Structure 1
Amino acid sequence: MNYTVNGHTTYCYTGGKSFDAGKPTVVFIHGVLNDHSVWILQSRWFANHGWNVLAVDLPGHCRSEGKPPASVEEAAGFVLALLDAAGIDKAALVGHSFGSLIALETAARAPQRVSHLALVGTAFPMTVSPALLDGAINAPQRAIDMVNTFSHSLLAPPPSSLGPGTWLQGGSRALMRRVLASNREANVFHIGFKACNDYANGEAAMAAVSCPVLFVLGESDQMTPPRAAKLLTAKARGAKVVTVPAGHALMTEAPEQTLFALKDFLGA
C-alpha cells in the first residue's frame, strides 16, 4: 500500500489486508540497509490475526520516495507523519536496530500516539565503529560483508523462516546490495549508520515513554549485544526483556521466538 507522506510516496507492506479502522495497528520499522521484507514472518502473522500492519520502507529506501532520514529525530517525525497520512490515532511500534531508535524517539515525542513499544536488537548508545562508517562510503561491499559477519550466528534458519536450507548471510547480503542500489542519489548505508552513531537522546527519550516496553535481544548479537541495552532497560518503567538464540538478525535467525515475544507483548 502506498501513502503520501511529506509530499512523497511511502510504501508499506500490509500483509495483503485492507486497513480496518476497527482493528489495532502495528508499525514495523526496519534498520540500516534493510526494508519491509525483514519482517516477513512477523508482519504476515499479525496481518492475519486481527491487526492492521504497516511494515514501512523508510524514505529513500526501495519503494519509498524522498530523502533518507539523516537523523533518528528526522525519522521519528516521518513515522508520525505516516500515522497522520494513514489516519491512525494510535499504534504499536516495533523497530529493529536503527528502527528501534526511531520507534523509541517517536514514542517519546508523542506518547499519546503509541500503545506499545517493542525494541528489537537495540542498544544505546548505538555506536558504529569508524571502520564501518568509513567502509559504508569507500568500500560498501566490504562493509556489507563485515556487517553480515557480525550480524549472524547461523548459516541457515529454522524451517519456519524463509525455508529449509536458506543461506541467511547470502540472502541478507543480497538485500543490502539491493537497498543500497535503490537510491542512486544518496548513500543510505552511511546516512543510516551515522544517524545511529549520532543519536544522543536515548535515555531522555526512554524516560518520556509512557506505554509498555518490550526488549527483544539476541544472545549472540555482536552488533548490539544485550549488555549494550542496559542504559535503556534501566530507564524503562516495568519493561519486559526477552533474550532469544540469535545474532543481530533476530527476525530470521529466531523467527518463532521473536514472533512469540511480540505476540505475547501485544496480547495478540
Structure 2
Amino acid sequence: MSSLLAHDVAGSGTAVLLLHSGVAGREQWDPQWEALTASHRVVRADLRGFGETPLPTESGWSDSTDLLALLDEHGIDQVAVIGSSYGGRIAMELATVAPQRVSQLLLLCTAYPGLPVTATVEAFGEAEEALLEAGDVEAAVQLNVETWLGPDADQSTRAELARMQRRNFEVQLPGPDDLGPARPELDAATIDVPTTVFSAGHDLDHFQHVARHLADTMPQARLVELPWAGHLPNLERPEQTTYLLLAELA
C-alpha cells in the first residue's frame, strides 16, 4: 500500500484508475473489479478522508498530487480514469494538472464546480446538515442511501452503500469543518481528453445539468444517457455498467 492512500492494484494490460464517489470508498468498484482486471491493470484508491485512508490534520493537500504519486509508485505513465460523482471531479482535476498522464476519462454522474446548484441539491444538503448537527448519523446515512441510489438498487446494495457512507462519516466528522484539499481551477473547455460523460435519468437534476454542460463544452466529450439509472449506476446495474465501461475502454 501507498504511504498515503489505501489502494489495490491487479491485472495486466492498459492501465485504468478507478475513483469513488463521495458517499463510498474504493469498494464501490467491487462489482466491476474482476471483469476490469481480467483485461487491464487496474488501480483503485481511497482518497484522503474516505474508507481506509485517514483525513489529514491540516488543509491544503492535493488529491491529484496524491494520485500522481500513486501512479509513479506503480510505474504507470498514463492511465484511463473512471470517476463516479466526486471521483469524476478528481479525474478532471488530474487531467487538468497532468494531461499527459490521462489517456481517457469516463465520468459517471460526475460532480463539477461552478454551475448553479439546484433546489434539490440544496434541500439534500440542508437535510443532511440538520441530521448531523442533531447527532443522528444513522439517519444521515440512510438519507444518503435514499438520495443517491436509483430504483434498481436491491437491499444488499443499499446495505453496502450504507456501510461505506457510515465509514466515511466516522473518518470525516471528527475533523474541523473547514478542513479540505487544495483545488485546481477546472475549465471544461480546456480538458482536451477523449471523454465519455454518463448521465442518469433518476439522478438529481443538478448532475444531469452538469453532464450536458460537459458534453457541450469539453472538446472531445460525448454524452451517454442512462434512463434507468440513479446517481450510482455501477452499483444499481453492475453487469450492464461493466459492459458499458469495457466497451468505452476498448
Q: Same fold (TM over 0.5)?
A: yes
- Which of 42, 64, 67 in structure 2 is aligned with 1:79? 67
- Asked whether the 8 Å contact 1:94–1:103 carries over to 2, the reply is yes
- Asked whether the 8 Å contact 2:93–2:184 carries over to 1, the reply is no
Distance in 2 of aligned mates of 1:153 and 1:65:
29
**Correspondence 1:177-192 to 2 at 5 A:** 177-182=166-171, 185-186=174-175
- Which of 143, 155, 160 in structure 2 is aligned with 1:146? 143
- Which of 30, 34, 39 in structure 2 is aligned with 1:40? 30
Distance in 2 of aligned mates of 1:68 and 1:48:
38
Distance in 2 of aligned mates of 1:53 and 1:69:
30
Query: Which runs of 5 or more structure 2 residues have no equivalent in the other structure?
Result: none
Q: CA deviation at 1:61?
A: 2.4
Change (3 A) 1:104 1:136: farther
Q: Which amino acid letter does the alignment assign opposite residue 260 of structure 1?
A: Y
Distance in 2 of aligned mates of 1:85 and 1:66:
21
Change (3 A) 1:227 1:69: farther
Name the SS for the 1:3 alignment partner: coil
Change (3 A) 1:239 1:145: same
Give CA deviations for 1:214-247 in whole Å, capped at 9, x if unaligned: 1122211127542332222211123222222111
- Asked whether the 8 Å contact 2:23–2:161 carries over to 1, the reply is no
Give CA deviations for 1:15-40 in whole Å, capped at 9, x if unaligned: 5x4xx5xx211010111131111111
- Which of 5, 8, 11 in structure 1 is aligned with 2:6? 11
- Asked whether the 8 Å contact 1:30–1:96 carries over to 2, the reply is yes
TM-score (structure 1 length as normaliser): 0.77
Change (3 A) 1:200 1:148: farther
RMSD (CA atoms):
3.0
Give CA deviations for 1:3-24 in whole Å, capped at 9, x if unaligned: 23xxx3x221235x4xx5xx21
Q: CA deviation at 1:182?
A: 4.4
Matched, 1:64 2:63: no
Q: Which residue does 1:237 correspond to in 2?
A: 219
Change (3 A) 1:136 1:74: farther
| Number of residues of Structure 1 aligned to a counterpart in Structure 2 | 240
Q: Which amino acid letter does the alignment assign opposite residue 263 of structure 1?
A: L
- Which of 209, 227, 241 in structure 2 is aligned with 1:227? 209
- Which of 6, 14, 18 in structure 2 is aligned with 1:24? 14
- Asked whether the 8 Å contact 1:216–1:261 carries over to 2, the reply is no
Q: CA deviation at 1:181?
A: 2.2
Give CA deviations for 1:132-153 in whole Å, capped at 9, x if unaligned: 5624742433332222222122
Matched, 1:99 2:115: no
- Asked whether the 8 Å contact 1:26–1:52 carries over to 2, the reply is yes
Matched, 1:248 2:248: no
- Asked whether the 8 Å contact 2:195–2:220 carries over to 1, the reply is yes
Query: Which runs of 5 or more structure 1 residues have no equivalent in the other structure?
Result: 158-165
Q: Which amino acid letter does the alignment assign opposite residue 3 of structure 1?
A: S
Matched, 1:263 2:224: no
TM-score (structure 2 length as normaliser): 0.82
Q: Does 132-141 or 31-40 show the bigger shift? A: 132-141
Q: Does 255-264 or 222-231 show the bigger shift? A: 222-231
Q: CA deviation at 1:256?
A: 2.4
